Amino acid sequence: MTSELLDRALVEEATKKSGLIWVQGAPAPGGDPEGTPTRALWHVWHEGAVCVVGDGPGEQPLPGLTDGGDAVVTVRSKDKGGRIVSWPATVTELAPGSPEWEGAVAELKGKRLNARDGEQMPERWRRECRVLRLEPRGTTVPLPQGSLAAPPAPTPATTRRPVPAALPRLLLRKRR
């Protein structure tokens, strides 16, 4: 019982203080037994669980996270960036407009950076996104070994564009 309480306290404190968590959803039926790729997600700790919003335009993807499914959450140190703790979670999708959804969205709204629609954001989330609750289950699991480095997920986003024709002249011209 004591180790379970210590695990719970470690999970809560580490997750509250971390700005990012890494989440791996459970494998799909008949899919890869390793599960879905691990994703870095921004989150809030609210009422004993992690809350995340995503799967809508301009929001983070939540692949492999299904209502009633399982996930493994790995928490990093905010100071050093190293892994602190990993824990199993049960995923619950909050129904838009429910009291749980409203409470989670109020917390998430305060933490959302660079929102394009400000005060209209909760309404957009209600229409276009999913709000998930990842509740800790059981005791912690061993931390993953190795670097876990992986190529970035495919995306239509790009930062590569042709160099403007005038740029070399501007960079190489002598200052007067």
At 37-51, the pLDDT tens digits run: 888 999 999 999 999
Domain that holds residue 138: 2-148
pLDDT digits (tens, 9 = 90+) for 86-96: 999 999 999 99
Answer whether 176's CB lies under 8 Å from 47's CB: no
pTM above 0.75, yes or no: yes
Does residue 79 lie in a domain region?
yes
Does residue 98 lie in a domain region?
yes
At 94, phi and psi to the nearest 5?
A: -85, 135
Q: What is the number of structural domains in the chain? A: 1
pLDDT digits (tens, 9 = 90+) for 121-153: 999 999 999 999 999 998 898 887 887 777 777
Structure-token match 């950076």, residue found: 113
Q: How many other β-carbons are positioned within 10 Å of the β-carbon of residue 140? A: 20
Amino acid letter, residue 157: A
Residue 83 pLDDT greater than 80, yes or no: yes
CATH number at 14 reads 2.30.110.10
The sign of the CA dihedral 157, 158, 164, 170 is positive
Q: Which of 61, 41, 59 is nearest to 51 (CA)?
A: 41
Residue 171 pLDDT greater than 60, yes or no: yes
β partners of residue 134: 50, 91
DSSP 92-129: EEPPTTSHHHHHHHHHHHHH--S-SSGGGHHHHHHHH-
